[in-house]
Each structure stands twice: as structure tokens, then as C-alpha cells.
Chain A
Amino acid sequence: MTFTKKIAKHDKVTIDGTDMSNAFRSFGLTSEANEVDVSGFSVTGTDESLSGGKAQGFSGDWFLTSENEEFLFALHNTDAIFEVAWQPDGLVDSSRAVYHANCQLRSFSPQANRGDPYVSTATFSVADDAGITTS
């Protein structure tokens, strides 16, 4: 099997149906299950654990432009639940898997550093029990 390695330049990011690919310079998802200790008395004394509740979401660094600020602040300020979709290399390869979920933008904290490009981080938290799915 050949694994095609690529440089990340063509990811497709869709927020609330709108193509926001060019607004982001990084994007990704996190899915982490809590570790729940279920250790019992045993000969070996080895700890045992199972997966508990799972926290999922997307995050990315976006460029602060007037239209991007307006776009994301409206979603945050109205506590809207909207679809977020991320397709690695999706702008040039439509066969790649799409990761999507209904999310909220619960924090909005744009910042400016003198001399640096206007970039800020957005974190989208999954808002329903379907979680992140792929298609």
C-alpha cells in the first residue's frame, strides 16, 4: 500500500454552510474520552481503566478581517448551533473524508499583537449527541 504524503495547503473548512477555507490558516478536530478508573484488587496490582464521556470539537487559527469578525461574532453572540465541516485537502480532492458536527462557538477572543498578522484562535464545541461524524 502506498501512502501519499502531502503538504497541508488545500483544506476545506465550512462554517454554517459557508466556505470559510481562506479565513483559516490552521484547522483540526479533537476527540478525547475521559479515563475512568475501574481498578479492582488483583494479583498484579495493575490499574484498569475504561473510556468515559467524550469531549469533541474543532479549532483553528483564523485571520481577523472585518467580514470574518462579523461572521464569527454573530454565531457566538447568538449562541447559534451550526454545522462545522472540515475536509483535509478538500479543495482539490473531493473524495477525502469530511468531518462534520453541529457546534457552538462559546468563546470569542480576538487579539492583536503589534507587528504580527491579525490572527486569532476559534474553538467550536460539539453541541449535540451525534458528535463528530464522517462522510
Chain B
Amino acid sequence: MSDAYTHGRYRVTGRRQYRGHRPGETFEARLDRLAEQRAIERGDIVLLERIEPGLAETTYRLPADWPRRAADTPANPRRRKAPLS
């Protein structure tokens, strides 16, 4: 993920809406790092939790016929010749 962005869960503080979220609401968003810093400094939001988006290995399974390695998939599969009529 680019260092220019950061992902977290935030709560809107103060008296103004932030990105469409009302004061008191909690939201999760991927924000520009500098925009996040400015919003926190002026008290519009507080960071509740920094999130690192990702998939745990145990939460998904590939299809049964998924090639284990790229080398196992032939680039030009041999075609069967049509039988002579």
C-alpha cells in the first residue's frame, strides 16, 4: 500500500460533519496521510484504530483446480488432433 494513504477507524468530533459523517459517528476510511493529520490537528476527527487491510491465510481457499505454480500451467496447451474421417 502507498505510504501516501492510511487506513483507520475514526470518530467525528467537534460540531461539523467530516466527509459526510455527522459528529459522534464512527467510520472507517482510507485517507490521504496529510489530510488525516490536518483533520486530527484541528479536532474534526480522532483516530480510534489504525487498520492494516489484508486477508488472513485461513479466511479463504482457492478453487481445487487452481495451479499451484505458474510453471505447472502450459503456455500453449497441445491440441488433440481430429480423427481422420
- The chain A residues found within 8 Å of chain B, CB to CB, are 16-20, 70-71, 74-75, 78, 80, 82-83
Chain A residue nearest in CB terms to B34: A80
Interface string of B36-67 (1 = CB under 8 A from A): 00110110100000000000000000000000
Nearest CB on A from B85, distance (A): 62
Contact of B18 among A17, A70, A75, A80 (CB under 8 A): A17
Which residues of A are found within 8 Å of B18, using beta-carbon distances? 17-19
Given that A80-B34, A82-B35 are known contacts, is A18 also in contact with B41, CB under 8 Å in the complex? Answer: no
Given that A70-B42, A71-B42, A74-B42 are known contacts, is A16 also in contact with B35, CB under 8 Å in the complex? Answer: yes
Which residues of A are found within 8 Å of B41, using beta-carbon distances? 74
Instruction: Please report the number of residue pairs spanning A and B whose Cβ atoms sit closer than 8 angstroms.
Output: 30
Q: Taking chain A's interface residues, is the majority helix, strand, or loop, or is none over half, making it mixed?
A: mixed
- Is the CB–CB distance between A82 and B38 below 8 Å? yes
Q: Taking chain B's interface residues, is the majority helix, strand, or loop, or is none over half, making it mixed?
A: mixed
B contact residues, range: 10 to 19
Chain B residue nearest in CB terms to A83: B35
Which residues of A are found within 8 Å of B42, using beta-carbon distances? 18, 70-71, 74
Chain B residue nearest in CB terms to A23: B16
- Is the CB–CB distance between B34 and A19 below 8 Å? no
- Is the CB–CB distance between A16 and B38 below 8 Å? yes
Complex-state Cα separation, A54 to B57, whole angstroms = 51
- Is the CB–CB distance between B34 and A17 below 8 Å? no
- Is the CB–CB distance between B16 and A19 below 8 Å? yes
Q: Can you sample 10 A-B contacts with CB below 8 Å? A: A16-B38, A16-B39, A17-B19, A17-B35, A18-B18, A18-B44, A19-B16, A74-B38, A80-B34, A82-B35
Which residues of A are found within 8 Å of B16, using beta-carbon distances? 18-20
- Is the CB–CB distance between A19 and B17 below 8 Å? yes
